[in-house]
Amino acid sequence: MKGYIVAKNGKLYAVVSFEDRNGKKKQKWFGTGLDEKANKRKAEEFLKNKLFELTRDEAKIYNIDNDTLFADYFDSWLESVKPNLQITTYGGYLQQAKFITKWFKDRKIKLNDIRPIDIRNFYSDMQNVYGKSVQVCEHYHVNIRKCLQSAVKAELISSNPADKVDRPRSPKHIAKYYNLEQLEEFFKVLEHERYAYIYLMTAYYGLRRSEMIGLKWGAIDFDKNKIVINHAVAETRLNGKRLIISKDIMKNKTSNRTYPLLPNIKQLLLKEKELQEQNKDWFKKSYNKNEQGYICVNDYGVILKPQYLSSHLEVILKLNNLQKIKFHELRHSYASLLLSQCVGIKEIQEWLVHSTFNTTADIYSHLDFSSKMNVAQTLNQVTQKVKDDEKETVKKEQQKNLKHNSISQKQDFQSTKNANYKVLLETDTAPKPNKSQEEYDNEEQKQTDEINNKEQKQTNEIDGEIAELEKKLAEKRAKRKQIDEEM
């Protein structure tokens, strides 16, 4: 709750800004009865008294005084934020409240007296006595801090003691996932499963469990081959009862989305639709027709419970000796498959509709190694191609030089022979040549053959060296491939 002074029409007013019980920001104006000139100090005193009065009145509304226990204030705060929460979220908060309020109430810790050491001791007991995980304690910390921050805003306490406590940090969760070979084996097992389409769609589209169960026939456009994700069905525990909650408000703004209907998924859905129509005829009045067009129903038309899908998947994997993974980890498996095909983190974020890029990067950074390996292999291939091109250029240049030298030698030999023969014929005093033209030709052919043989020998040596280099390169590539497969 904050206030300030505003001058209007020559008069001073005290304006108080605050948040109502639903978290909405509001303002109230109070006339001071003072003229604008020379009354600023008096107006500020008026504002101070008004803020004190309003804070005291607010405390009365929540039945808060100096003896109020933190546990009671936490219950009041939770009730005040309920209208702004989804019922599944509120159910989760209630589960936390059981432990938070009991621990602090048993120790009779007041709102005004709560200290950082009390909060640290609470986390310690939750982990060491009640066996709660660090992740659960992290959730406790978030809500304890929010609750105390509301007390600070209402000026019921001067500072937030939770700010002086280190937030419990759970180790980064490394989710299990299937690679391409494991997914193919899993898909093969699903060929004879009743709800194969559910697990295939979850893996192909990376759907959340609540989104898969919330899928309706009206969201499937078989003509335009589109799937619209705009509804969800989830489980929560409220007042000791397990409830199935359907909702049109998705997890985040981007969760409402459209996917292309893949041909194999289309065939599976058409087959399921036909089966459900048959079940309606077979079971007649026993068939439940009040499930509002949900796709994921049993043979009697009753919508499948979220927990059933998880337990049923566990049975399938166990019976077929497949690696155990959770239902949500089919979503991770899909992401790993995309990464292995060099699809970028940004594209995966858009397909899986995480609220931010950082969320996707944080969850799947450990899976990104295969894409880095692909990049490394691509760079290696490019580098190797440059080296191969350089070798080929050197080889061609050497062959060109050999050919050029051979031609030059032949031309020099022929020129010398012709000149000598001409001198012998044209000089009267010179003795007659003791070699015939045929002998000169034979000698020329012999020298030509020697040059050709020398040229061929050099070519063979170069080819041999290149073959040896290629053999060593192939061995290195085979060894690298073996290492990649082992990783």
- Residue written as token pair 């050709």: 452
Q: What is the mean pLDDT of the chain?
A: 78
Residue that wins the pLDDT comparison between 46 and 414: 46
Strands 11-19 and 2-8: antiparallel
The residues, ordered by sequence, that sit 6+ positions from 29 with a Cβ below 8 Å of its Cβ are 6, 13, 14, 15
Confidence of residue 412 (pLDDT cuts 50, 70, 90): low
Residue that wins the pLDDT comparison between 80 and 198: 198
The b-or-e profile of 101-140 (16+ CB within 10 A means b, else e) is bebbeeeebbbbebeeebbeebbeebeeeeebeeebbebb
Is the confidence at residue 156, as pLDDT, over 80?
yes
Please calculate the CA angle 53-59-60 and round it to the nearest 5 degrees: 90
Instruction: List, for residues 125-140, the tens digit of each pLDDT value.
Output: 999 999 998 989 999 9
The answer to whether the pTM exceeds 0.75 is no
Which of 164-173, 203-212, 367-376 is least confident? 367-376
Instruction: List, for residues 247-266, the tens digit of each pLDDT value.
Output: 775 555 556 788 889 999 99
Strands 226-229 and 220-221: antiparallel
Instruction: List, for residues 451-482, the tens digit of each pLDDT value.
Output: 777 767 777 777 777 778 778 777 877 776 67
Strands 257-260 and 241-247: unpaired
Pairwise CA distance, residues 395 & 259, whole Å: 54
* 191, two tokens: 């060929």
At residue 267, the pLDDT reads 94
At residue 467, the pLDDT reads 77
At residue 88, the pLDDT reads 80
At residue 352, the pLDDT reads 63
Q: Which long-range contacts (CB under 8 A, 24 or more apart) does 142-148 make?
A: 143/93, 143/96, 143/100, 144/74, 144/100, 144/119, 146/77, 146/81, 147/73, 147/74, 147/77, 147/78, 148/114
* 252, two tokens: 């985040």
Average pLDDT over residues 418-442: 55
